Amino acid sequence: MPAFERFDLEGRAATPREIARRWRDFHRQVRRVSSGRVARLVGPLLGDDTRRRRLVERLRRDPAEVVAVPVVDVRVFPLDYVAASPRTSTPIPPVLANVEFVTARPGDVDGLVETLRAALDSSKEWLFIVDEGIGEDVRGTVAAILYEERGGADVIFADEEGDVDTIPLLKPREVGPHTLLSYNVVGRPALLRRDAVARVGGLRRAAGRAGEHDLYLRLLEAGATFHHVAVVAAGRRREERHAADLAEDTRRVVVDALERRGVAASVSVTSQPSVVSWSPQPDRWPSVDVLIPTRDRVDLLRQCVASVEASSYPNYTITILDNSSRDAATLAFFAHSPHRVVDCAGPFNYAAIINRGVAHSEAEFVLTLNNDTLVRTEDWLEQMVGVAMLDDVSVVGVTLVDAHGVHEHDAIVIAPYPQHLRRGVNYLVDDESVVSRRDVAAVTGAVQLFARSLYLELGGMDEALAVVMNDVDLCLRSQVAGRHVVVLPDVVVAHFASSSRGRLDPLVDRNHFVRRWDVFGALVDPYFPEALRLYGQRLHYCAPVSE
């Protein structure tokens, strides 16, 4: 995947007028789909970033109010999704002349291996693995849709009809290499270039039910290119995706893939047969400096530090970054703490504080940690560092939950503005994509691990982004030279959001970020389904619906 493209280096950034228009359109859409009738009427009068709106929001907010997540009967997800048969304008005969259909029978691993082996001798350019229960008209139509979109790709794949008709399996635009280690993100339907499959040896019988997953792992390693088509079509049967013996087969093929890459790792099955958890096991544990910015609020800081001290990691230090604390109890804590305290006096500028902390560090890896957090996973650093030590990883993040266990952060998605994906809150199904270790566009700076050398190479955080978007900006800039940002959903940190600084979200920071990355324009999230839009706390399906 190409690195994210900057628009502020060659005079291509959007004008202030254009940026203001984009914000108006975005907020209008949020109000349209996520607000009540009164909010939709009053919203335009208040404006989107005005003193009067902030005043109304302060008056409405009850500091003692506990925000509960409503129980949702998930029958349609995402909102606005309507199941429809895909259509195509491509004549079927030319497609059939270039596509060899490979029929898969449920549970018949040997039969599929032999059928595909025979298909490799075909003179046709493409292979299309299809369930025997799918009729010829449907399979021909779906194959034609993928054939139209083939371009120069080696594998062209689509979204799948899910276990329930109104809950599809939506897939990302790009096949992340770390995502593919966790589960078969490609699945079916998929059109495969015959020569590419032949070069890697086709299906391996030893892979069992995970044969196609194993094939895609080997294709990716061989440099094959993948292309996603945002259309929902018939794919795998439920019994294929949830078969009990799929779990061990998946674990085995992922072990093989990691061994081929020279990565020593443990791989374990999860509650979902189609998903495994993989954890690199390095031969040494490098030094890690945990940077904790703070200003007063010693009550938060004390419990945060204690939770880090309970970690099992053998080689870490804690550095407290003091941003002009004045409280006597806080200063007393600093005076008696065994941990280093770095003076970061001055107006609050998160990026500048972290930059100063990194400048004082000599550790191989640095982890930023908000002072209003509590570590919930004892071996969190082992899990994060193991992944961060991979050559193709830049930044690692984790799941954050609030004081009530409600998910606050399961990665940051760009849909179309960077926002937190929240399992059970705005993402309402526990499918493979939300429970797996995976590649993402960004993770929050509240818990963010990176190699110090890479951070310095990138020039650190942009201090022009004083309060917000500095963490996302760092993640986007870090994805160069084939590096990736990875989130670990099985590592959990509790976060009492905005406890120490309140709610800060300056428009000047957001506009700087919008200009740099052409947000609402060219910027897209390669690791989140392109058909989804996050407006407020609701995910909406926005792809065209076939008639």
Of all residues in the chain, the percent with pLDDT exceeding 90 is: 77
Q: Which of 279, 301, 321 is the last residue of a domain?
A: 279
Q: Is 120 found in the same domain as 153?
A: yes
Query: Domain for residue 84, yes or no?
Result: no
In a domain, 58, yes or no: no
Residue 72 lies in a domain: no
Q: Which of 248, 279, 310 is the last residue of a domain?
A: 279
Cα-based angle 57, 417, 372 (whole degrees, multiple of 5): 60
Q: Looking at the structure, do residues 258 and 355 belong to the same domain, yes or no?
A: no
**What digits encode the pLDDT tens for the residues 217-229?**
999 999 999 999 9
pLDDT at position 294, please? Answer: 97
**Which pLDDT score, from 0 to 100, does residue 33 have?**
81
Task: Let me know whether 525 and 446 are in one domain.
Answer: yes
Shared domain check, 382 and 268? no
Higher pLDDT, 536 or 489: 489
Q: What is the mean pLDDT of residues 257-267?
A: 98
3-class DSSP assignment, residue 293: strand
Examine residue 76 and state whether it is found in any structural domain, yes or no.
no
Q: What is the pLDDT of residues 459-514, one digit of tens each?
A: 999 999 999 999 999 999 999 889 999 999 999 999 986 555 445 678 999 999 99
pLDDT-based confidence at 63, cuts 50/70/90? Answer: very low
Domain boundary among 225, 251, 279: 279
User: What does the pLDDT read at residue 64?
Assistant: 41
Task: Report which DSSP code applies to 289.
Answer: E
Is 50 exceeded by the pLDDT of residue 376? yes
Give a yes or no: residue 31 inside a domain.
Answer: no
Rounded Cα distance between 183 and 479, Å, is: 22
User: Across all residues in the chain, what is the average pLDDT?
Assistant: 90
Whether 330 is covered by a domain: the verdict is: yes
Q: Are the beta carbons of 137 and 126 closer than 8 angstroms?
A: no
Residue 6 — pLDDT band, cuts 50, 70, 90?
very high
Based on the domain organization, do 174 and 302 belong to the same domain? no
245 and 328 in one domain? no
- d(CA 190, CA 392) in angstroms, rounded, equals 26
Q: Are residues 383 and 494 in the same domain?
A: yes
What CATH number is associated with residue 210? 3.90.550.10
Q: What is the pLDDT of residues 231-250, one digit of tens each?
A: 999 899 888 888 989 999 99
Instruction: Based on the fold, state whether residues 268 and 295 are members of the same structural domain.
Output: no
Sign of the alpha-carbon torsion through 51, 56, 62, 68: negative
The answer to pTM > 0.75 is yes
Residues 6 or more apart from 480 whose CB is under 8 A from it? 3
Q: Would 465 be classed as within a structural domain?
A: yes
Pairing status of strand 316-322 against strand 288-294: parallel
Q: Let me know whether 249 and 371 are in one domain.
A: no
Asked if residue 410 has pLDDT above 60, the reply is: yes
Q: Which two tokens stand for residue 502?
A: 């309140």
Supply the range of the domain harboring residue 317.
Answer: 288-541
- Do 199 and 339 lie in one domain? The reply is no
pLDDT (0 to 100) of residue 499: 53
Q: Is the pLDDT of residue 54 over 70?
A: no
Please indicate, yes or no, whether residues 229 and 126 belong to a single structural domain of this protein: yes
**Residue 230 counted as domain residue:** yes
User: What is the DSSP secondary-structure string of 516-540?
Assistant: HHTTTTT---TTS-TTEEEETTEEE
Q: Show the tokens assigned to 238.
A: 């439920």
- Asked whether residue 236 falls in the same domain as residue 303, the answer is no
* Burial group, residue 306, by CB count within 10 angstroms (0-12, 13-18, 19+): exposed
43 — pLDDT class (breaks 50, 70, 90): low
Q: Please tell me the predicted confidence (pLDDT) of residue 162.
A: 81
Number of structural domains (the chain) is: 2
Q: Determine contact, residues 481/393, Cβ cutoff 8 Å.
A: no
Phi, psi of 24 (to 5 degrees): -60, -45
Per-residue pLDDT reduced to its tens digit, 308-351: 999 999 999 999 999 999 999 999 999 999 999 999 999 999 99
pLDDT tens readout for residues 160-186? 998 776 799 999 999 999 999 999 999
Counting runs of H as helices and runs of E as strands, what totals does the chain give? 19, 22
